[in-house]
Every structure is written in C-alpha cells, then in structure tokens.
Chains A and B, each alone.
Chain A
C-alpha cells in the first residue's frame, strides 16, 4: 500500500460462517487504532447464519472517507468460487487478487494468487475455522495494507483467551504461504 495514498480498498468475500466479517473488523481496527488511519468497514450478507454470499469492504485512507464501500478494489480475497465470480470485476487493473485454492477451482483471472487457506487451516491449525486468520496473514504480507505488527497485535488482542498461540501460528502460516506463493524466500 502506498502509505500516503488517498484511498485503499480491501474486499473480503466468501460464504457466511467463514469468519470474513471478523477478519474485516480486525483489519479495520489494525489500520485505525494501530496505524492511525481513517477506516470504514461495511458488510453485505444474506439472512442465513451459515452459507449464502458474504462480503465485507474495508476502506483505509489518510483522508476523510465519504463513500463507505469499495468500488475499485486494491485487494480482493475470494474464499469461494461464487464470490470469485461475483467480485473479480470490482478489482483494480493492478489490484491484488487472492483466492482460497482449496475451494476456488477457477479464479478466472490471470494474476490471481491461489493459496489453500482452508486446507492449511485444517492441517496446520487443526480446524477449518482458522482459514480467515491465515488469509489475513497472507493478504497483509502481500499488500502491506496494514503493518504486520499492527495486525498481530490486533488479532491477539481480539481472539478468545487461550487461543492466542494457535492464532499467532495461523498468521505465520498465512505469511509463509504468501511468501512461497510469490517465490519470496522466507
């Protein structure tokens, strides 16, 4: 992220129950409370508790944020095929597109980065529900949307007590996966 840019838009999309609202809330908090930026987070989901389309937009800016939703997305995360299909058109030309390659067969985009978040969550953290935190680690590593320390501090402060270690591991798993996906040495 350009540190003095006017507006930086992140869209996290998938299905209800994947923890994307929480992920968006954590990003917004890291950006404002820790990094001192203005942030607005909005959400869109259906009436179901699980399943259905789910999306959250996080807008980060050094300036006042008028329009609260994303329009030209800098970072798009898609955790399902349906959300990849629906939202890839909102991505900026040079935007970063990251998909959960365990659940998305065809990102439909040449420069999409595939990381199997849900599989990594099951294998490295014991449960699929850590996929959201792993994804956060990956997209922050790839985009510098917020400072890494800010993300880590916010996540560890907000997760249920007793789960700090496994959540920290989830962030690191995401960061490592992002580095290997883009060929960066860890």
Chain B
C-alpha cells in the first residue's frame, strides 16, 4: 500500500508506526508497562522520547501507567500509554477518572485473545465493548481502529488531536495482526497531520471554570503550575472542580461529558467503503478482519455476488448514519469480528430490522481467512 512515490518507502511494524504517529503528533510523555503484543510501542518511545526532550517512564504496573499519563497531561504534556487486554483491564479505573475529570490522553490497546492472560501472541477483537463500557458509570469514549500500517501513523496522530480537542481519553484499538504486521508505507511528509491543542484559558481570566458544564462546550484547560488553581477529583464535581451532590449540577456534568462526544458521532465517523454503491450484501468490519472482508468482497464480486464493504475506522462513538442509508438496498449485513458478537449489537441497533444482520465470530486466536467469510456469505444468501 505504498502511495506517494515522492516519499521514502519504509517497512514498518504497526506498533512502530503508532509510535511514529504519536511523536509526529507531539506526544512527549509515555508511561507504560510492556506487554505482548504492544511492547514495541514502549520500546520505541523509550529510545525516542529522550532524544526529543520527552519523558519515558516504565511504571510498576498499568494502574500506575494510567495515573502517570493523567498527571503528565494535567501538567500540559501530550501523554500516551500502550497495553493489551490484561493491562487494559487494570487501566479501567483511572480511565474513568480521565473521562470525568476531562483529561486528554491516549491509550493504545493492541488486542490479544482473552479473557485473562489468554493467548499473549495471538489476535482478537474482544475488547470492543470493554473499551466502551469497561470503566463504570455513564461516560463516553472515543476509539479508533486502524487496518493498515499507514493508518497506524494517521490514526494515532488523530487520537492525539481528538483527545486534545475534546479533553478526553482516546483509545486506539489495534489487534495483534495490525500491531505486529509489517507493511511498506510511504512515510508522510513532516507536518502532514494537523493536531489540535486543548483550549487554554487566558492567564488573566477571572473566575476560571475548568470543567464542562456549559452546554456541550469543551472548557479551557489550565495547566498545573500556571496562574490558575483548580481542584481535580474523581468525585462528581461542579464547574470549578469541587464535589457536588446538587442534582441539577450532577446531571449537567454527566450529560456534559457524554454529549460533548456522542452528539458529534456523525462528525467523528471515519469510514472506508468498497463497492457499496450497488451492493446487496454488506460486510461491516474493522481492523484486521476488515482486510479479510475486503479480499472476500473481491472474491464474491468475481462469483457474481453484489457484495460491498463498510469499514469503520471510528469504533466509538458509534455512528449508524451510513448503515441507515445503505440498509434499504441490502439483502443482508454480515459482521465478521474476532469475538462472539460485540460491535454487531450496535449495527443491529442502527439498522433496526430494515435489513437482517448476521454475525460471524472467531475466537480461536486466529484471523479469518477470506474463504471462511466468502463461504459464510454464500450460505447466508442461499438460505
């Protein structure tokens, strides 16, 4: 997938490419605890960040890693960590703190087969719902899923930008295949990615309010060490950061952190469509499964089946807009995932019965093969 021949071609691993994207987007703080299949991200950042004046800290565990990137972000750094399922589980509590306290940070989760220690070196897509609902309480999350090594660069940079823009944690959801895959890429020119910065208050702003409660605005974020003093807590808080139990304030806070993201779902949706114009069978997929689905769509077209692929790069917030538009023309929607049915439930919700939705799950630690998806589609349309 080399694109522009003007640019140098590198063979990069997905995890390395994420690191390249992070550094390009200005990430200058990384705290983490290495875990297969994400360790190459920590390895790269450990080597690279000291060279550009950044900080790398290997923490004692993933609880502390998440806490450290939150702290660094409050002090003004662009911060990131990388992990896999077992570590992602440990990060959930502090991930909730980052959601509630509106602290920008990026978490890379290279999914491996679980639950528990599972299969450390083998792929899965089993953390999709954990990403959405792993931390307790009502909240929203942004999560992106790359399918190519070039997208690992692009979407990591995008995660950094979105975390800053929305003052919220953003998850890059890879799987072992994408994280460990090496692919030829034309390296984007420096400055290719426009990365937003968190809104800052002016130093002399009086009555500074650090937290979201003004409709769905993202409030300015003062940095620790600057002229503004404010309170950060995991207790539900008012605009100034102090704990509140006043129902109207609590309601406004919780709706605020959800609405600032969920109401933008259609704007945040990034899709890639293959042969969807006239398709009657739609494959809906993401990550490495989408690469297999794309191969399958081409096979199916050669067999005369009008198949198409909708690949989502934005997993959360989930946008059903394209699905709703396509549904009336479809005989069926097939959702291959390396789990037993996670994002498919959102597809069903969006389509609301207009077209039948079928799930194809795989949980044996291996990626689908094109023939497996093709055969499943052929059986579905024959029945």
Contact = CB atoms under 8 A, between A and B. Distances in A.
B291 A71 contact: no
Interface string B26-55: 000000000010000000000000000000
Nearest to A33: B9
A33 B180 contact: no
B181 interface: yes
Contacts of A25: 11, 182
A29 B185 CA distance: 11
Interface in B1-45: 1-2, 9-11, 36
A150 interface: no
Interface in B287-332: 288, 291-292, 294-295, 298
A41 B182 contact: yes
Given A32-B2, A38-B184, A68 B291 contact: yes
Contacts of A37: 184
A65 B370 contact: no
A42 B180 contact: yes
Interface in A19-53: 25, 28-29, 31-33, 36-47
A28 B182 contact: yes
Count chain B CB atoms within 10 A of each CB in A40, A67, A68, A69 and give the residue with the most. A67
A66 B294 contact: yes
A106 interface: no
Nearest to B288: A68
Contact of A71 (B10, B181, B294, B370): B370
Main secondary structure of the interface of B (DSSP, over half): mixed
A148 to B, nearest CB: 19
A66 B10 contact: no
Contact of A67 (B122, B184, B369): B369
B367 interface: yes
Given A41-B181, A67-B369, A68-B181, A33 B11 contact: yes
B370 A40 contact: no
Given A31-B184, A44-B122, 10 more contacts: A28-B184, A32-B9, A37-B184, A40-B182, A41-B11, A41-B182, A47-B36, A65-B1, A67-B369, A71-B370
Given A47-B120, A66-B298, A32 B184 contact: yes
Contacts of B288: 68
B311 to A, nearest CB: 11
A69 to B, nearest CB: 6
Nearest to B274: A66
